[in-house]
Amino acid sequence: MKKITILIALLGMSALANASPNLVLNGSFEADSQGAGTWSNYTNLTDWVGGEFGIELRNNVAGAASNGVNFVELDTTQNSSMYQNISTSLGSVYNLSFDYSPRENISSESNPIQVLWNGVQVSEVTGTGGPSGNNWVTYDFNVTGTGGLDQLKFVATGVSDSYGGSLDNVVLTAVPEPETYAMLLAGLGLVGFSIRRSKNEQA
């Protein structure tokens, strides 16, 4: 009995852990090498398609990354954008999260970044930059899959002056189905019952 209940709990925990891989490729922008203390403007990055004015990749310039060493800015020489197409399941709910920081010493009017899912605005985030470095904030939202290739897009929307907000650590994960949680809770409950029973028998 004890072995069976432990197995159920392990299966539930395994299903929960494996249910949510990051569907965004190169979400922390580490696939492209950028020298420490340098930045460059790229037409595209690995797995990301840049807008008309490209994507600015930074490594420890005007702040440090929130995850890894690289992060991006989308107000390059002018306001630009980037997108990635992601395969989803029809009707499935996904959690989208990303780290955002306003650029240091730059006002909120210049720092906005718009987030789009299949061309529909999910949110627009901004802030006033501090006196030095990045001040990362994690945002998360739920989006729904269409069963095809869904487009995740970020657009710089503030004053187009080459100074804008930064992005890092973009993650899209499937929200686990209720059955997965039910299996985990049932398994943990049975393990707890088995432990109590064992202690009573020993007593």
Q: Judge whether 141 and 115 are in contact, CB under 8 Å.
A: yes
Q: Using CA atoms, how far apart are residues 166 and 101, in angstroms rounded to an integer?
A: 5
Rounded alpha-carbon distances, angstroms, from residue 89 to 2, 133, 143, 145, 147: 37, 39, 12, 5, 4
* Predicted confidence band of residue 20 (pLDDT cuts 50, 70, 90): confident
pLDDT at 5: 46
Distance from C-alpha of 171 to C-alpha of 67, rounded to nearest angstrom:
12
- Report the pLDDT value the prediction gives residue 34, as an integer from 0 to 100: 98
Determine the 3-state secondary structure of 101 from DSSP.
strand
Phi, psi (rounded to 5 degrees) for 98: -160, 155
More confident residue, 202 or 69: 69
Report the distance separating Cα 22 and Cα 69, nearest Å. 19
**Average pLDDT of 61-75?**
97
Q: What is the pLDDT of residues 24-41, one digit of tens each?
A: 999 999 999 999 999 999
pLDDT-based confidence at 181, cuts 50/70/90?
A: very low
pLDDT confidence tier of residue 186, bands split at 50, 70 and 90: very low
pLDDT bracket for residue 194 (50, 70, 90)? low
Residues of the chain with CATH 2.60.120.260: 24-175
Q: Determine contact, residues 45/31, Cβ cutoff 8 Å.
A: yes
CATH superfamily of 24-175: Galactose-binding domain-like (2.60.120.260)
Q: How confident is the model at residue 60 (pLDDT cuts 50, 70, 90)?
A: very high
Range with lowest mean pLDDT among 79-93, 150-164, 180-194? 180-194
